[in-house]
Amino acid sequence: MNTNHQVHIYTDGAAKGNPGPGGYGVVMEWVGTAYRKEFFEGFRLTTNNRMELLAVIVGLEKLKMANTRVLVVSDSKYVIDSVVKGWVFGWEKKGYTGKKNPDLWKRFLVIYRMHKVDFKWIKGHNNHPQNERCDELAVRAATQKQLSVDAYYESEAK
């Protein structure tokens, strides 16, 4: 992997039923060190794409210093294509009219602009250790007894 990055953030999201109970998993590794952190959270009603995007947001929000060079590794074409192909910036200019997950995209852009972020897509469920770990965390999060409320999604889903 590119050694110009200070942190690698691996992410995954899951939703059972889509929409249904869901969760995200994040594995963060600091390049050149053994330092590693994991995060996960589950929600009672959400979508897979929301969890994929929230995983990236949470990983970036955990960084303590601005302008960190980050490589986000994800199996989500939704997230990666939206950023790398520039779609989200067009959505922002048009006020996210007709787009899903504007609450998360707004939150993403705030934290994205605080760092130097590159993206790498990997095929999911393809024996990539960190991606497999993120998947385990996301599924575990989605199946916990105590699940958080995805308030924006639940208010929009009605």
Q: Give the number of other CB atoms < 10 A from CB of residue 107.
A: 17
Token pair of 8 as six digits: 């690698």
Enzyme catalytic residues: 12-13, 52, 75, 125, 135
CA distance linking residue 71 with residue 107, whole number of Å = 18
- Identify the three-state secondary structure at position 102: helix
Q: Which residue has the tokens 């302008």?
A: 67
The Cα angle at residue 106 between residues 145 and 102, in degrees rounded to 5: 70
Q: Whole-angstrom Cα distance, residue 142 to residue 131? A: 16
Contacts (Cβ under 8 Å, ≥6 apart) of 63: 7, 70, 115
For residues 29 and 8, the answer to whether their CB atoms sit within 8 Å is yes
